[in-house]
Structure 1
Amino acid sequence: MSRPFFRTLATATALLSATACTLDNFGGPNDTMQFDTAFDSAPAGMDVTSSTFAADSNGAWGGPRRGRGPGGPGMLGLMGGGMGPEFMGSGGIGRGAHRGPFAIRIDSSCTVAAGDVTCTRTHNGLTATTIYTIKDAGGAAQTKLDTITTNSVRTRTTVSGTTTRGRDGASVTATVSNSSDRTVTGLAAASTQRTVNGTSAGSESTTGTNRDGQAFTAARVSFDTTTGLVIPVSTTAQTFPTAGKVIRRMKVTTTVAGSTPSVRERREEVTYDGSATAKVAITVDGSTKNCTMALPRGRPNCG
């Protein structure tokens, strides 16, 4: 789902302060400068794309700082602010293309050409362009959602530009380049399930001063792939994926003035098998733990 473009910084603050999961000590002993909090959110502007990363990220990462224990992902113990509700349990997904977490935003600013709907919006230095390809069950193109007949929507988004953040003692400037391509089928009113396939990629190059007053540079890149994700349709019960796989990756390279560069990598592979427990393989800097995660709103359990 392309999430609302105008989010409050309060949401981001809540995500960044969320309690870390049981994997907090995954990465080894404390460093003098900790930057695992970079995994708490996605690169700036990724909240506009169709990705699995749930965090509001328009403000960019504030950089490494002193006094942090080994950091880790925030909300629900998964990086990027956790996963969106469509991947964990989204409440009742109603029938029709206008219901549920994959509803799209088309307004009078959008244009139609060659059967596609293109929408461009700018906020906080970032420009987002989204192209919607809407089709009925027979494959015929549509220029707007029909609550009965629309069956599939392909959403392609690019986000680029430079954004700034000044909060909590940090002052940073980030240049971003993000993209995503997601297709959701099974949106027609008669459908009993929806199927999601998609990819996204994001990059953020940041320079600035962290809350300790130290200059730093950082680069964050993220990728995710959603393959064959099946979500049952229900107007009354909470639903969650019953099949499919999501793979999420992030790499962070940071250099604090006067220090050598540091690099961290994290990969999460979430597999849904029809049960109420998803399998989660989490790899940090080459070391893997196999975990489970109760659906719809559990946290990774790696015990």
Structure 2
Amino acid sequence: MKGADYVVPHEIVDEDYPLHLTTGRVVFQFHTRTKTAHSRELNEAAPDAFIQLNGEDAERLGIEERDMLQIESRRGWAYAPARIGDIEPGHVFMPFHYGYWDNDERPRAVNEMTLYEWDPVSKQPYFKYAAVRLRKMQPGEPFEMDDPMRDEHLKEASENPRAHVADYLGLLDDSSRATAQALFAVAEKHKAEPDIGAICKMLARFSQEHSEDLQPCIQRYGETQEKEADKLLEVLQPSHHKGPLRYCVICMIAGCWHRNRIYRSLC
């Protein structure tokens, strides 16, 4: 295991959105319930989404068990009944299993509220947290179904399609060059040690050759320069901890990852 420096979340609570939302699973359902929702026993055990909040927050907001709530972030909203207790103050929880395919009476897809960002190392989307606010629904108040912000994003994506080959080529070339640079640095530092210096120099040449082999594809399709290797390094190994060997290992990991991505996309 490797310790990591604390990184401030992309979104934190404030006066407008004072609660931390976290999402997750319930034991009776799996993913978006395309299978488990067809099991009568499982569906009866967990038939609907819910919003879990602390008793202190519930009292402050005038919320009681099973009250219908609107939960809203900067990106969207959903509706679900309240479940009070067994969670820290200032936090709310909502399961991600529920959406529209079997019930379109109200928005209840929690991932419509989470962030549009992703982790720079694992590429995992930030579907686990957001800053939100809660509001108790009044009796007879209708659910707001349309989300102009979401519809605008979908419209923009459908009207401006583009190929991503240049993105992948840029990532692959960048990681190959960074790997070669780091390996040559390690080889120079350990040139008296054949099991390190010679091997690193050989691997560095392999990386250089790989970058050279990419150039015909880059000339044909172009490349997008995102400096992903530098971003990955900064996240995994902040500047005050950098060292040639660690830099080498990190760049090799990045290079292997990008190789797999590009080969799968072009084959």
- Please say whether Structure 1 and Structure 2 have the same fold, judged by a TM-score greater than 0.5: no
The structure where helix makes up a greater share of residues is: 2
The structure where strand makes up a greater share of residues is: 1
> TM range, normalised to the smaller chain?
under 0.3
Q: TM-score, normalised by structure 2?
A: 0.24
Look at both structures and tell me which one has the larger radius of gyration over its CA atoms: 2
Q: TM-score, normalised by structure 1?
A: 0.22
